[in-house]
Amino acid sequence: MKIIWLGHSGFRIEIETAVLLIDPWLNGNPLFPAARRAEALAGATHVLLTHAHGDHASDATAIAAECGIPIACIHEVSEWLNAQGGVQSIGFGKGGTITLGGARVTMVNASHSASIDFGDGPLLPAGSAAGFMIAGDGHVIYVSGDTDIMADMGWMAEYHQPDIGILSCGGHYTMDMDRAAYAARKYFNFRTVIPCHYRTFPILAQDASVLRAGLPPGIELVEPEVLVPIGF
């Protein structure tokens, strides 16, 4: 299994026979090298969206059309995509599980706003923000999506038992590094934590030193580099 950062909150996860592109914002992403777009998309089987904000979803339809692959997302965003035409969508809801190339993807709660805030039209409501539990190849990955700490993390950790946490922790719009460390200590039993939604803009945290200092002993913190695989 490989987890590959695409910058900001975007990831390429190669798991079972699936290649999942999660929140793949490439066009306009200051951290992503545009010349390596084909490399990031090669062999992709599905796009997964945590929510519809532009820094997560604005490139999704172009990527899905380019690769000829479906977009899996919350029902309301799926319906909006269907109305636009040109791509196939898989709509599901929190608590729902879909199987993608042998990987089981469950949508879970996140505490964040959700709207379609890109393009030429007006701001549109877009369901609510979510995270994912992705199980396969002997691992469970918790993709937090944009969120603050929430009590739901307690039962989510107990029920799904994720060993890898991909945590939004840049602050201002999501948990900051200290809050993400608290959530990891209080609720989860991660073996590995990977920070995201940071370094992209000056308003966000530029490194994960505070998160590293706040994690309990025995948890590996991996600060990702764009397009450098993290193997498991």
What is the residue extent of each domain of the chain? 2-226
Mean per-residue pLDDT over the chain, rounded: 96
Model confidence band, residue 127 (pLDDT cutoffs 50, 70, 90): confident
Distances from the Cα of 139 to the Cαs of 83, 161, 162, 165, 185, in angstroms?
A: 36, 9, 7, 11, 19
Model confidence band, residue 121 (pLDDT cutoffs 50, 70, 90): confident
Task: Determine the pLDDT at residue 45.
Answer: 98
Task: Determine the pLDDT at residue 117.
Answer: 81
Report the Cα 34 to chain-centroid distance in Å.
Answer: 20
pLDDT of 166 strictly over 90: yes
pLDDT of 85 strictly over 90: no
Contact present, 98 and 105 (Cβ < 8 Å): yes
- Burial per residue of 45-73, b for 16 or more beta-carbon CB atoms within 10 angstroms, e otherwise: bbbbbbbbbebbbbbbbebbeebebbbbb
Q: How far apart are the first and last CA of the chain?
A: 5
Task: Determine the pLDDT at residue 61.
Answer: 95
Task: Determine the pLDDT at residue 84.
Answer: 87
Among the listed residues 186, 98, 169, 104, the one whose alpha carbon sits nearest the alpha carbon of residue 140: 104
Write down the CATH number for the domain with range 2-226.
3.60.15.10
